[in-house]
Chain A
Amino acid sequence: MQDLTQEILELVRLTSTNLSPDVEKALREALEKEDPGSAARGAMETILTNVEMTRRNSTPICQDTGTPIFFVRNPDGWSPRELREQIRAAVALATKKTYLRPNAVDSLNGKNTGNNLGDQLFPTIHFEEIDGDTLSIDLILKGGGCENVGAQYALPDDRLKAGRDLEGVRRSVLDAVFKAQGEGCAPGFLGVAIGGDRGTSFVASKEALLRKVDDRNSKGDLADLEDRITNEANELGIGPMGFGGKSTVLGTKITSTYRLPASFYVTISYMCWAFRRRRMTVQDEQVNYE
């Protein structure tokens, strides 16, 4: 099996230092909507200057390089065990090269391992064996500020008048965006999962963030709800950094998964403006980055 350690290191570097074009485009459009001279516009200008600078200098967009979350789709012939070791080696190398901040902290004694390698759950690696001959590895670097404002609602929720339907989903998501205020580094992107158990719902909400910013949900009712939530979240006026302004949310991605009769979760993963996600694919030893 091919050793991909160096190629995965490049995936980490690219993700941490070079914002995806679809995200940058959304940020540029957001800047244009803010009033000249406003704190919100100033924040967006600073954000975009930083994006250009980090691409040029190969330095992290944000110092909180977050939890590295890998989604691996491996065809036959790729060993998840070996890929895990290669990913871990690449993450440690990336930390040494300051593409990543050492972020793995023992929850009991507070010790930071210094190399981003904790237990088997840190970094997070999801494997799915697939047909075909193309290996793909998606990486999201998700910072703690935005992770902390993620939320999960168990419907019905009487306080929100949220029942077990799409209207209940809308109410839950808007409540989460309100509660986040600027703390998640607005303008943000929302990954939303409906259903699952508590654990699978959170994973699904993060996987929803792999979709391109400007794609459209194949399910019509969810596509409409995504647009509506984005528009209404912006009506809240929280704005960049919570300074007040036009842009609070730049995209909403909703997925649904099966649930128990007794449970109806709506799970929101809030992604900060520094929406760092990249993909690499490997086919016939040829490596491509998106």
Chain B
Amino acid sequence: MSNKLTIPIPDESIRSLSVGDSVLLSGIMITGRDAVHKWLSDTFIKNTREPAGDDLEVYQAIKPILNGGVIYHCGPVVGGLDTKQYRFVAAGPTTSIREEPYQGDVMRHFNLKGVIGKGGMGPKTLIACQEVPGVYFHAIGGAASLIAESVQRVLGVHKLDFGVPEAIWVIEVKDFPVVVTMDSHGNSVHDVVRHQSKMVLDRLLG
């Protein structure tokens, strides 16, 4: 049985989730991956660069979506680029660990409750999950067309100059299928699997 959750997700719902839980997510979220995380961190969190161009405008637009919300590590294939009648053709998760330097800070800054990606994340994000609180939702890597079907509408796009895969796509999803692999209680499936596989590796390399 899958839990159904609607974004924004209340703290008590987050706290009730444990690793291994299947969840169907519905609501409005944004995509954001490498370029977006670096941009957010540099411009609004570490303040190592001044906002320029439409930076402040985009920040104000995504802030309410991220508050209590979810960010999706995804670089989609998008149709309708010529007409701006955008539709997601293929939209599976990208590898999340590249955002490990930024994710915890982004979660705290925006009160972000959920991160969707694949491959799991590290200790900094796990600590942020406990503090904010938040969870890491694992989507099935490569299941791109199936996941795209749960994207009901593309509501808009920011920072398209980052390129289609790196832009901030605002999407409305219905019953987006994910599994909790890092929860707000300090548990991580990825830590367990790494630890167990290390013991086997040590035996095999004896």
Contacts and interface: CB of A to CB of B under 8 A. Distances in A.
A223 to B, nearest CB: 20
Interface residues on B, range: 35 or more
Nearest to A240: B140
B118 A239 contact: no
A43 B148 contact: no
A98 B95 contact: no
A232 B179 CA distance: 27
Given A59-B148, A64-B75, A242-B119, A50 B143 contact: yes
A39 B119 contact: no
B189 A61 contact: no
Nearest to A110: B35
Nearest to A236: B197
A63 B200 contact: no
A148 interface: yes
A39 B20 contact: yes
Interface string A247-289: 0000000000000000000000000111000000000000000
A219 interface: no
Interface of B: 20, 22, 35, 74-79, 89-92, 94-95, 97, 118-120, 138, 140-146, 148-149, 162-166, 177, 179, 181, 189-190, 192-194, 196-198, 200-201, 204-205
14 contacts: A49-B143, A54-B144, A57-B145, A60-B77, A61-B142, A61-B145, A62-B141, A64-B144, A64-B165, A98-B77, A101-B165, A182-B141, A236-B200, A242-B189
Interface of A: 39, 42-43, 46-47, 49-50, 53-54, 57, 59-65, 98, 100-103, 105, 110-112, 114, 143-145, 148, 160-161, 171, 174-175, 178, 181-183, 185, 232, 235-239, 241-244, 272-274
